[in-house]
Structures are given as C-alpha cells and as structure tokens.
Amino acid sequence: MGCWVALLWVIEVIDVVSGHALDTLGISPRELDELPDVVPAAFLHFGFAHLAANSVPLLALGFLVALSGLGRLLAVVTVIVLASGLGVWLTAPAHSTTAGASGVVFGLLGYLLVRGFVNRSAGELAVGVLVGVVYGSVLWGALPTDSGISWQAHLFGLLGGVGAAFAVRAGRRRRP
C-alpha cells in the first residue's frame, strides 16, 4: 500500500510539472471516448490537498484488505475502480470531470464493513466494527451534500466494495 500511495504522489508531481496535463484523464460523464478514463481517473488527483485527504485512509484501509493477500486486494480494488468509475460516468453532472482515489477509499470501507458477514468470520466482523467506528462518519460523503465533491464516486465506490465482498469471498471447505 505504501508503494501504491507513493505512486499516486509521483503521478501528482508529474501532473503538476506537466501543467496538469494528466487531469484530462479524469472521467467526463456519458462521453463514449471518455469511457477508457474510468481506470486512470482513480490514480489522479486535482492537487496535493486532494491527494493528501485520500492517502491516509487509502493506506489504512488498503493495508487491512491486503492482510488477506495481494491477489485479493487487487481483485477487490479492480471491482471498486470499475464500479466507482462507471457509476460516475453514468450519473455525474454533464460537463464535469471526476478524478481521485476517494471512490477506492469508500469501496475499501464498504468491503471491510461487510466482509465479515459475507465470510461468516468473527475476526473479520471485529475488523469491520473497528473500521466502522474509526471511518464510519465518512459515509455521509456518499450522499449529495456538497456540489464540489463527487458523491457519485463515493456512492458507487461504496457499492462496489460491498459487491466485491460477495464477488471475492473467502472460499469455504465443504463438509462431508
């Protein structure tokens, strides 16, 4: 997770040095030629303050998911990036551009909150409760309360994380 967040900072430095040329890879809704930007948009930010706001929760929540294995983390993040990005592409206001890892942050939060129920694991339930206590208040960000923030990325990221909990659930041994 440290490498991933470091990569996000390097990308933002490149964006600033290039005069914000990478910002064009943000998601512009309902434009077919913008559909490929669904993935890179999750790695871009509109400034260092935006990136800093996402870095700590991304590190913390991503680390908790990564404890289950790098493959699981990659699968979960893939589902979240696609759900968040496609949700933004379908529902964001016209003539807007959306970028940032906050959809991934909300997705990781959603994944961790429901994973214990899906996997029927007391340990994962305990992690979910802890995560809920620490980060639960950010769930308000998935509601349309601030016109300058992409609640669509937050909401669809959250839903993607819940979906990822079902899609990549831990395998269970069959009892004879």
Tell me: pLDDT of 36 over 90: yes
Report the 10 Å Cβ neighbour count for 60: 17
pLDDT digits (tens, 9 = 90+) for 76-120: 999 999 999 999 999 999 999 999 999 999 999 999 999 999 999
Sorted by sequence, the CB contacts under 8 Å of residue 142 that are 6+ apart come out as 106, 151, 154, 155, 158
CATH superfamily of 2-167: Rhomboid-like (1.20.1540.10)
- As given in the structure block, the two tokens for residue 41 are 């948009």
pLDDT digits (tens, 9 = 90+) for 122-157: 999 999 999 999 998 888 888 887 777 889 999 999
Report how far residue 56's alpha carbon sits from residue 54's, in angstroms, rounded to the nearest whole number: 6
DSSP code at position 171: P
Lowest mean pLDDT among 26-30, 53-57, 119-123, 143-147: 143-147
CB 109 within 8 A of CB 138: yes
The answer to whether the predicted template modeling score (pTM) of the entire model surpasses 0.75 is yes
